[in-house]
Amino acid sequence: TATQRLDYQAPAFWIDSVELTFDLDPAKTRVLNKMRLRRNPDVAPQPLRLDGEELNLARVLVGGAGTSFKIEGDQLVLENLPEGNEPFELEIFTTCAPNKNTQLSGLYVSGDTFFTQCEAQGFRRITYFLDRPDVMASYQVLLRADKAQYPVLLSNGNLVESGDLPDGRHFARWQDPHKKPSYLFALVAGKLVAREQQITSRAGHKHLLQVWVRPGDLGKTEHAMNSLMAAIAWDETRFGLSLDLERFMIVATSDFNMGAMENKGLNIFNTKYVLATEATATDADFANIESVVGHEYFHNWTGDRVTCRDWFQLSLKEGLTVFRDQEFSQDMAGSPSARAVKRIEDVRVLRTAQFPEDAGPMAHPVRPDSYVEINNFYTVTIYEKGAEVVRMQHNLVGRDGFANGMKLYFERHDGHAVTCDDFVQAIADANPASPLAQHLGAFKRWYSQAGTPRVHAQGQYDAAAQTYTLTLTQSCPATPGQPDKQPFVIPVALGLLGQDGRALALQLEGEDAAAGHERTLVLHEARQTYTFTHVAEAPVPSLLRGFSAPVILECDYSDAELLTLLAHDGDAFNRWEAGQRLALRIALAAIASDAPVAQAAVLPPAFVAAMRDVLRHPQLDAAFKELVLTLPSETYLAEQLQTVDPQRVHEVREALRAQLARELHADWAWAWEQHHASGAYRPDAASSGRRALAGLALAMLCLDARTSGDTLWPGKTYQRFKTAANMTDRLAALGALVGAGHALAQPALERFHQLFKDDALVIDKWFALQAGRVDRGGDVLPSVKALMKHPDFNLKNPNRARSLVFSYCSANPGAFHRSDAAGYVFWADQVLALDAFNPQVAARLARALDRWSRLAEPWRSAAREAIARIAAKADLSNDVREVVTRALAD
Ligand code: ARG
Ligand code: ZN
C-alpha cells in the first residue's frame, strides 16, 4: 500500500475549471461538482479515476446526460468518456456529514462553524476529484446556507455576488482568479466577525485584509493583523513578491490538527496562532503568531503560485517557506544579537526534534522515496531540515545570488507544479560561478539521503612554519533502506581565535593575502585538508559558525578552548554552542559514571564561574544569557548516548540545575532585580528577552528554596504571580512554583484556573504546565490521569489533547519513562483512543516512542511491548499502522 516517488505518472486528464455548489447542513451537506475536463494528450487514453472518501454518491452526468460508472475502493471510475482531446463537462452530486467528521480533514464543524482542511488529501472527502497537486483548476464556489446560523460565507478569491434566498437562507458566490490544486481549496461558514485593514502595496495596489474570529475574540486579533501587514511588506522588500489578490483572509478555529493552512486567499489557522493579548498570551505565543502568519502568507508564492508536482516534493514548499519565515522573524528581531537568538532557537528545535527523527525508525530524506500515509510526512525533516537545505543554498550563493535564484525560479515555474530538483536547479543556474553550481550533483544528496552527517575536525598547529592545518572528515550513518551514503556538500563557516580571544586573519595556503576573519570552507569529499598560513600562535578554531550546515560537528576541544570560545567568540551562535558543549561534557560524564548522582553530577568551579560571567556580563543581551544559562535538554542529552537510562539522564540534569541554582543564588537574585521591571507591554525581542531572563531567575531561586528552605523567594514569586501585568510574567511565576514543587503551587494553579476558565488557549497552558512539570518520584502521571477526568478536558479537541497528553508523553521524558512502564501503558491507551476518531493526531502521538530501541532495560522491553500492543489492534488507521510498523522494525 506504499506510494513510491519513482512511480509518478502525469494525470490522464486535466481539470480546467470547477464549479462547486454547497448546500451547507451539518448533518447532510449537498455538494454539486461541475467540472470541465479534457484528456491529457501526453498520456495514453485510459479511464478516469476520481478519488473520493466517505461520500454518498447521488448522480453522475457527462455532458448533461447519465453515464455508466463504477466504484473501485475509494475511486469513482468512468470508462465511457468522450474520445479525443476536446473538453467535456462532468457533473457529480454527492452528500457528506460534516458533523460526523471527527478527523478534521475535509469539511467539518467546529463549534457551530464549518471549516475545511484539504491538505494533503482532504478534498476527496468533499467531492470526487483528481485530488493531486499537479492538477490545477479555476474554481468558482457557490455557498448556500441558513442566514441566521451561518451569516458569514467565505471561500477562496473574490466575492462576486451575494444575496438572500427563500426560507431564511442566503448565498455567496466566490471566484478564485488563480488556478490552484485541490489541496488549497477552502470554505468557512458561520458566525464570525472580522478585523479589517485596507493596505496599499508598494506597487500601488489596494488590498483588503481580514482576520475572522468568533465574536468575543475580536480584541485578540491586533497582533495577527500587524504580523500579516509586516509579512506582506517584508516579502515585497526582500524578494519583490507582492500580494496577488484583492482580498486576503485569515480565519481562526479552535479545532485544528496542525498549526495553520495556506489555502489561497483564505488561510485557516489554529486559534493558538492568531489570538493574543498581553494578558492571555506569552512572548513565545506572540513570536509564534508572527512566524506562522508569516509562514502561511509566504506560501502564497512558495506553495500556491508554484506548487508541488507530487507529495514527495513537499519540502519544495515547506522547507523553502520555513526558511522564509525564519528569515522574516530574524529581520523583525532586528539587532545582530536578537537574530542570533532566533537562530539558536531554530537550531535547538532541529537538534532536539529533527536529529532524533533522522536517527530513528521514521528517518526519511528531505524528499522521501515512499510513504504509506502522506500525513505522516509533515515532519521536522521536511520542514526544518528542508529549511536548512535551502539556507545552505542561500549561504553558498550569497544573499543577492539567492534573490536572483528565486527570481529565476518564478520566471521558469510560476503557475506550475514542480519538483525539489527544479528549485535547486534555478538557484544554481542563476549563480553559475557559485560553489553550489560547481557541486550541484553532490549537493542534491541533501534531498535524497537521510541521516545526520557527522563532521570530524582535527587541527594541527605548526609553530615553526606558522601554519594551522585543519582536516575535516565526514560520514553519515545508515538509515532505513539506505545502508551506504555518498559525501554531502557541507559549508563550514569558520573563524580562528587567538589564545586571548582575538579574531585572527585567515589566509589559506596559496593565497596572496588574508581574506578577512571569517570564511566558509566547502567540504565535498569524505576528507579534506586546509592549511592556514601566517598563524602566529596556536589558534582556537570556531567551526560551523551560525550552524552553517545541519550536521553533528565533532571536535576535540579542551575545556580551556571551550571557555575561550564562550568568553570571546565573535559568532554568537558558537559562543552559545561552547557553553552547551561544556555542559554536555559534564553531564555525559556524570551519566556514564558508576557513582551515585549526588557524587557524579557536579559542575566544576570554572564552569560555574563562566556561567556567572555570562549572567553578569555588561554587554550581552538578556535573551542570549537566558539561552546560555539553560542546560541542554534531556532529549538532547539522550541523543548522545548509545544506551539511554532516562531516569539517570533526568536526575543528572536536575542535580546540575540545582547546583547552578545554589551557587549562582546571588547572581540570580541580581538578574531578577535587574530585569523584572516591565513598563508597557511590548512583545519585541529586547523586552521579551528581559522577561525570559527574569523568569529563569525566578525559577532558579524557587528551585534553590526547595533545598535551602528559604521562604522569601517563593513568597515573592507568588506575589508576582498574583500581580503580574502580562501572561509571560504570570506563567513564569506559576511555572517557577510548580517546577519547584512548592506548597504555593497548588493555590496558584487553582487561582489561575479560576481567572482564565473561559479562555481555552490559557486553559491549555494550565494543563500543559502540570503535565510538563519536573517529575519527583513519579508524581506527574497520577496528576495527568486525574486531569484527564477534569471537566475541561476533551481528547477530541487537538489543542487540549496536545496540552495534556502530548505534554506528558512527548515533552516530559523524566516523567514519561517510568521504570514501572505505566507511562507507556498510558501512552498506548491514548494512541488507541485517539485513533478511533482522529488518526492524524493519533499518529503524531505514536511517534513519542520512536527512539525506544536505544533505551536501557527495563524501559526497552516495556516500550516494545507497548508499541506491539498498538500494532496488534486489528482496525488501526494507516497513519498509526505505518508509524508502529516502522518502529517495530527498528
Ligand atoms: N501546509 C500547512 C503548513 O505548513 C500544513 C498543513 C498540514 N496538514 C496536514 N494535514 N498534514 O503551513
Ligand atoms: Zn507550510
Q: Judge if ipTM > 0.90.
A: yes
Does the pLDDT of residue 730 top 90, yes or no? yes
Cβ partners under 8 Å of residue 226, min gap 6: none
The CA distance from 734 to 746, in Å, is 10
261 touches ligand 1 (CB under 6 Å): yes
Is beta strand 29-39 parallel, antiparallel or unpaired with respect to 88-96? antiparallel
| Identity of the amino acid at 391 | R
pLDDT (0 to 100) of residue 515: 87
Name the helix (H) or strand (E) containing 164: strand 158-165
296 touches ligand 1 (CB under 6 Å): yes
Does the pLDDT of residue 740 top 90, yes or no? yes
- Are 254 and 320 a contacting pair, CB within 8 Å? no
260 touches ligand 1 (CB under 6 Å): yes
Helix axes 646-663, 685-708, angle to 10 degrees: 100
% the chain with pLDDT above 70: 100
Cell numbers for 349, please give them. 528545535
**Digit-coded pLDDT (tens) for 334-381:** 899 999 999 999 999 999 999 999 999 999 999 999 999 999 999 999
Choice from 250, 253, 261 to test ligand 1 binding pocket (greatest atom count within 8 A of CB): 261
Closest ligand 1 atom, CA of 378?
11
Which residues are designated catalytic?
Answer: 296
384 touches ligand 1 (CB under 6 Å): no
376 touches ligand 1 (CB under 6 Å): no
Closest listed ligand to the CA of 261: 1
Name the helix (H) or strand (E) containing 212: strand 206-213
Give whole-number Cα distances, 46 to 78, 83, 91, 181, 750, in Å: 9, 10, 19, 22, 65
Does the pLDDT of residue 809 top 90, yes or no? yes
**Digit-coded pLDDT (tens) for 112-167:** 999 999 999 999 999 999 999 999 999 999 999 999 999 999 999 999 999 999 99
354 DSSP 8-state letter? I
Q: Which residue has the cell 465511457?
A: 80
- Are 32 and 57 a contacting pair, CB within 8 Å? no
- Are 30 and 145 a contacting pair, CB within 8 Å? no
For residue 204, count CB atoms less than 10 angstroms from its CB and return exposed for 0-12, middle for 13-18, buried for 19 or more: exposed
What is the pLDDT confidence band of residue 202, given thresholds at 50, 70 and 90? confident
The CA distance from 297 to 793, in Å, is 33
Does the pLDDT of residue 826 top 80, yes or no? yes
Cis peptide before 858 (omega within 30 of 0): yes
Q: Which residues of 792-822 are buried (b: 16+ CB within 10 A; e: fewer)?
A: ebebebbbbbbbbbbbbbbbbbbbbbbeebe
Give whole-number Cα distances, 383 to 263, 270, 350, 399, 451, in Å: 18, 18, 10, 21, 15
pLDDT (0 to 100) of residue 560: 97
Closest ligand 1 atom, CA of 318?
4
- Bridge partners for 99 per DSSP: none
Task: Report how far Cα 53 is from the mean position of its chain's Cα atoms.
Answer: 28
What is the pLDDT confidence band of residue 424, given thresholds at 50, 70 and 90? very high
Nearest to 393 by CA among 343, 347, 443, 348: 443
The whole-number average pLDDT for the span 24-30 is 98
Cα torsion angle, 405, 406, 410, 415, sign: positive
**Digit-coded pLDDT (tens) for 688-702:** 999 999 999 999 999
Does the pLDDT of residue 542 top 80, yes or no? yes
Does the pLDDT of residue 678 top 80, yes or no? no
Closest listed ligand to the CA of 119: 1
Is beta strand 206-213 parallel, antiparallel or unpaired with respect to 247-253? parallel
**Digit-coded pLDDT (tens) for 558-591:** 999 999 999 999 999 999 999 999 999 999 999 9
- Bridge partners for 143 per DSSP: 22, 172
pTM: 0.99
Distance 270 CA to ligand 2 centre (A): 13
